[in-house]
Structure formats: structure tokens, C-alpha cells
Amino acid sequence: MKKIYLSAALLACTLMNAQAPFWTATSYKGAFPVTDNTPATNWTSGWSNFDPENTVYGAATQTVSADITANTTWSGIVCLQNKVYVKNNAVLTIQPGTIIRGDKATQGSLIITRGAQINAAGTMASPIVFTSNESVGNRAEGDWGGLVVLGNAINNQPGGVANIEGITPTLDTEFGGTNDNDNSGVLKYIRIEFAGIALQPNKEINGLTLGSVGSATQMDHIQVSFSGDDSFEWFGGTVDAKWLIAYRGLDDDFDCDFGFRGRIQFGLIIRDKDLSDAIGDSNAWECDNDGTGSSATPFTRPVFSNITVVGPKGNGTIGLPVGEKFEKSFRLRRNSAVSVFNSLSTGWEKGLSIEAANTEAQYTSGNAYFSNNILTNYATATKVVTAANSFYATFFGANGNDTTTTIAQINWVNIFTALGTTPDPRLNTGSSAATGAAFTNTVFGSSFTGIKNSANFSDKFVSVYPNPAADVATLVIDAVNASSLNVNIYDINGKLVSTPVINQNLVSGENTFTLNTSNLNNGVYFVTLNSTNGKETVKLVVSK
């Protein structure tokens, strides 16, 4: 059969009208590939901060203390006082590099209500920072409220509408509706530090709280540090996210409730042995269908892939203090149906806990999956807990999960650094986690940012990350055969704008190439590969 290749311009139109891709097929497990000793393979580089306790932020240039009811733009340094609601369908635009300092005395908080939007698109070089208004040496978790985004997507609460926890209920605290494609705006290249103040006794809000946020909302490159409650909590909704960091939070890192059904890929969790929730318990994942474990629909059914988790015990040499409340890496309970793939976990007291018969049934029925994950350095009796061993035996090993791989075999570059210093969570050459990831489960569908088993390309997969990219992206090709390669980049009009790879050799196995995007404007591009193995095109978004 004769193959027909579209022109770049026609291909651009075709892809723009197709469903937006989400999953990036990787060969590696965890959130990071094998290092190339440049920032290109470490998506935390350039925008994250692992020592916000000692970061000097300037004095406020303006104070915001009243609700926002019309389109508004913030820049400079903002002191956020009181609970500020963005309402009346207004759009709050926050310019790259803006610093928002939450006031402790007035419980400064920012709440985006249903119908309103936040347009906070930072860049790698100029991230947007939400942080404490306290001075260096006086900052701690729970200094201010946090960022709350409420939307009109579906949740499983009675009547489909609920009030976000931690705030006195009003019309402005309601979330939920009937539009799973709702758009609450853009959050990218964002840091949220020292949030989670108790607005009511034992009722904290989280670093980032998302209530029924819809899938048209864009979320990527978000770091939550020193949250006084959960780092990220999703209540219903369908929003997707990539490149998330939960750093030294107090309670849970990823908390899912009320029918959340989004997709999360590439996450880094690092905990502090001295920070756990004295009232309850602290876990990496804590996921419920709802507070009672009912069968209300839609079920809490998110999909996570490529997460790297370092618990409070670190590499196992860190002793935990008396009275700590740390529990489990994966606490999946109350009839939730959470799927986790291609992830790495170490440093918790217990590994996987699937709790109660109705939650177990989600996994035996195929509503949820736990596959291709490595739980390393867990004691024999703590690898899988709560359910009977006979339950785990039916799927744990058969689904490619592993508890025998050691930390030395994973061979991280430098992930167990002292708190307050920057880790390098990438893999060294020869890491046992550098291969073995799989994206064949039906939950992944065919929505990839790379091409896997394409009819026009005989290689195993092609991937471009990060996507969106700022100044540099990495092209990964898992080649079946040795070949030569040429790569062209076209803009959305079909104009050739770059030829980053010319007559380069492909070897059998994984190949990586650096794509310099620093001279490209923001927008949609198409990376076209030509080799003796075939021809293929991958969509690339540039956003700075």
C-alpha cells in the first residue's frame, strides 16, 4: 500500500483538530530519565526552589485585600490580605515573575470561584511565587491560606454541588456542576510555599486545592512546599497535570476525593521526618471516593504515572522522631479506584495499602490498576499491608510490580540530599529503573505526546519532553534498528523553522537528542522525523 504523507501545514491543521495528547511514553520508571548532565533531562531545573525558608523576597509593592470582580492583572510583589475571592466571572492574570506574599495575621488566601479564571502562566526563568509574608527565619507551614480553584466539573456529592473544606460555606465556596470540560484558566511554572493555615479549628486548606476543576484548565510545573495540610488535593473534576513537586508537606502529598478523574504524569515527592500531621496521619497518596466510602458516582478514579517518592525515612538511614504520624506511601481506601503506573517509592513506614473490601473490588474488577511500580527498601511485613496477602498475590507481581529492587540498583544520581539542598532525582546509566515502563493498559488510550508503535514508524516510541518546552526539549527515540536520522521543526503554518538533527546515527535502543527551542516564539510546532525506519511527526508546544 502506498504511504501518503501530509504537508506540514495540513498536518498541523489535522492535529490541531484532534484530541489534545497527554501521556508521554517513557522507557523509564519514576519521574526522571537517565541523566545527560545538562538541565535538559531534569524538569525541576530553573524554576523550583528547595530552600524557600531562606529565600529573600522583596517588600510588597501593592496590597490586595478586597474581592476581585472585574478582569485584573497583578505584577511585582503583592501582599495578599484576607480571603480574596475572584468572582463575577472575572479573570485574574498574574504576570511571570510576580511574587504574592500571603499575610499571616489576616489569613491571606486566594479563591477562584466557579465561572472565574486565573491566568497564571509563569516561565522557567520567571516563575510565579505564592509564599509567606513572614521574614527569613520565621516562615513555617501554615503561614497563610493557600490557592483554591473552584470549577463546574462533575463531582459525586449529593446534588453535584459541595462547599470547599476549611472555609465558612457561602455561594463563593461552592464547587461542582455538569461541565467536565470546564476551564478555570492556567497554572504553570508556579511555586506555592508555606500555605495551609487553619481557617477554622482543625480545618486547614491545602497548598493547592482544586474543587471540580475541569479538563480545559491547564496545569503544569507546580511546586507546593511546606503546606500546613495536603500539598495537592483534588475534590472531583477532571483536570490533568504534569510536572508536580510536593516538598516537605505536613499531611498528604496527593489527596483525591469526591470523584476526581484527572490524569497526572511526572511528579516528585520529598518528605521531612520532622513534619507530619499530629492530628491524623501523613501519607504520600490518600484517596477516597468520599468520606464514607460510598458507591456514589462518578468514582474517584484518577490515573498517575511516573511519580518518584522519597518518604521521611529517606534511604532508610533516617530515624523518625517520637510521636511522628507517618503512615503509608499509597493509602487507597473508601471505595476509590486510583491507578498508579511506572512509579518509584521508598522511605515510608509502609508501602501499598488497599483498604476495605469495596476498595479491593475496584482492583479485582478492572476499575483500577497498580502496575509496573517499584517499592524499594521496605521491610517484608510492610511492603503491602491492610488487605490479606492472598489479595495482593492475585495481581501485585503479575502486574509487573517489584519489591526486590534495591536503592543501589535504582541508582539515583543524588536524590537523598540534605533537606534545604537541591536534589538530583535523575537516574544514572545502568539504573534498573531506566527501562521497563509500560503504557499498554487501556486507561492510557492513544493520547500520547509521543508516537508509540506508529504505522509509519517502526521504532517502539518517540517522545518529546518537557512538553510544553521553554528553551530546550529532549527528543527520545527507542529504536528497533540502527538508522540515520534527520529532524525538522515546522511552525503551525508549515514553515520550516529549525533543523536540529542532521544525519545523526540512531542505535538500537534508546536515543536522546537535544532540541534547542530558545529561538522559537511561543506557539505550536511540529517535530518531523525522517529515518530509514520511517517518517513521523510529534506535536511540540513552546511556552516561555
Q: Which stretches does DSSP call E strand in 272-333?
A: 285-287, 303-310, 328-332
Judged by average pLDDT, the poorest of 15-24, 247-256, 494-503 is 15-24
**Residue listed under C-alpha cell 497548598:** 207
Confidence of residue 14 (pLDDT cuts 50, 70, 90): very low
| Residues 106-157 pLDDT 10s | 999 999 999 999 999 999 999 999 999 999 999 999 999 999 999 999 999 9
Task: Give the bridge partners for 330, in sequence order.
Answer: 285, 352
| Residues 22-46 pLDDT 10s | 888 899 999 999 999 999 899 999 9
| Predicted local confidence at residue 17, as pLDDT | 34
CA-only gyration radius of the chain, Å: 23
Contact 334, 408 (CB under 8 A): no
**Average pLDDT rounded to a whole number, residues 167-176:** 96
Does residue 500 carry a pLDDT above 70? yes
How far apart, in whole angstroms, are the C-alpha atoms of residue 269 and residue 243? 11
| Residues 450-497 pLDDT 10s | 555 555 555 556 778 787 888 888 888 877 778 888 999 998 878 899
| Residues 193-232 pLDDT 10s | 999 987 776 677 899 999 999 999 999 999 999 999 999 9
Q: Quick one: which of 45, 36, 50 has its CA closest to 413?
A: 36
| Predicted local confidence at residue 447, as pLDDT | 54
Q: How far is CA 428 from CA 41, 462, 475, in A?
A: 12, 21, 18
Task: Tell me the backbone φ, ψ of residue 507, rounded to 5 degrees.
Answer: -105, 160
Confidence of residue 425 (pLDDT cuts 50, 70, 90): very high
**Average pLDDT rounded to a whole number, residues 325-330:** 97
Query: What SS3 string covers 389-408?
Result: HHHHHCCCCCCCCECCCCHH
- Residue 470 grid coordinates: 521553554
How far apart, in whole angstroms, are the C-alpha atoms of residue 6 and residue 452? 19
Task: State the distance between the two ends of the chain, measured CA to CA, in whole angstroms.
Answer: 42
Task: Give the bridge partners for 191, in sequence order.
Answer: 129, 223
| Predicted local confidence at residue 428, as pLDDT | 97
The amino acid sitting at 375 is L
Confidence of residue 87 (pLDDT cuts 50, 70, 90): very high
How far apart, in whole angstroms, are the C-alpha atoms of residue 540 and residue 451? 12
174-209 in b/e burial notation, b at 16+ Cβ within 10 A?
A: bbbbeebebbbbbbbbbbbbbbbbebeeeebbbbbb
CB atoms near residue 321 (< 10 Å): 10
Of 57 and 507, the structure prediction assigns the larger pLDDT to: 57
Contact 491, 523 (CB under 8 A): yes
The dihedral region occupied by 518, where left means phi > 0, alpha psi between -120 and 50, and beta the remainder, is: alpha
How far apart, in whole angstroms, are the C-alpha atoms of residue 28 and residue 350? 24
How far apart, in whole angstroms, are the C-alpha atoms of residue 6 and residue 290? 48
Sorted by sequence, the CB contacts under 8 Å of residue 93 that are 6+ apart come out as: 71, 72, 73, 74, 119, 120
Task: Give the bridge partners for 510, in sequence order.
Answer: 478
Output the DSSP codes for 338-405: -EEES-EEESSSEEEEE-SHHHHHHHHTTS--EES-EE-S--GGGSEESS-HHHHHTTTTTTT-BS--
Q: Which domains does the chain have, with CATH numbers?
A: 8-21+448-542 (2.60.40.3080), 39-427 (2.160.20)
- Residue 44 grid coordinates: 525541576
| Predicted local confidence at residue 462, as pLDDT | 74
| Predicted local confidence at residue 358, as pLDDT | 97
Does residue 7 carry a pLDDT above 50? no
Sorted by sequence, the CB contacts under 8 Å of residue 448 that are 6+ apart come out as: 21, 22, 23, 24, 25, 439, 461, 463
| Cis amide prior to 298 (ω within 30 degrees) | yes
Does residue 261 carry a pLDDT above 70? yes
Contact 220, 468 (CB under 8 A): yes
Task: Tell me the backbone φ, ψ of residue 436, rounded to 5 degrees.
Answer: 105, -5
Output the DSSP codes for 232-270: EEEES----EEEEEEES-SS-SEEEETT---EEEEEEEE
Task: Give the bridge partners for 93, in sequence order.
Answer: 73, 119
Q: Quick one: which of 191, 190, 328 has its CA closest to 251?
A: 328
Q: Quick one: which of 375, 386, 250 has its CA closest to 316?
A: 375
The amino acid sitting at 288 is D
Judged by average pLDDT, the poorest of 66-70, 118-122, 440-444 is 440-444
| Predicted local confidence at residue 474, as pLDDT | 85
Task: Give the bridge partners for 402, in sequence order.
Answer: 374
| Predicted local confidence at residue 446, as pLDDT | 56
Q: Quick one: which of 160, 156, 153, 163 has its CA closest to 240?
A: 153
Q: Which stretches does DSSP call E strand in 76-143?
A: 77-80, 83-86, 91-94, 99-102, 109-112, 117-121, 128-132
How far apart, in whole angstroms, are the C-alpha atoms of residue 495 and residue 486? 17
The amino acid sitting at 62 is Q
What is the chain's mean pLDDT, rounded? 91
Residues present in the chain in total? 544
Contact 92, 112 (CB under 8 A): yes
| Predicted local confidence at residue 467, as pLDDT | 77
| Residues 381-402 pLDDT 10s | 999 999 999 999 999 999 999 9
Q: Quick one: which of 109, 285, 134, 282 has its CA closest to 200?
A: 109
How far apart, in whole angstroms, are the C-alpha atoms of residue 345 and residue 375? 5
Task: Tell me the backbone φ, ψ of residue 70, rounded to 5 degrees.
Answer: -140, 160
Confidence of residue 100 (pLDDT cuts 50, 70, 90): very high
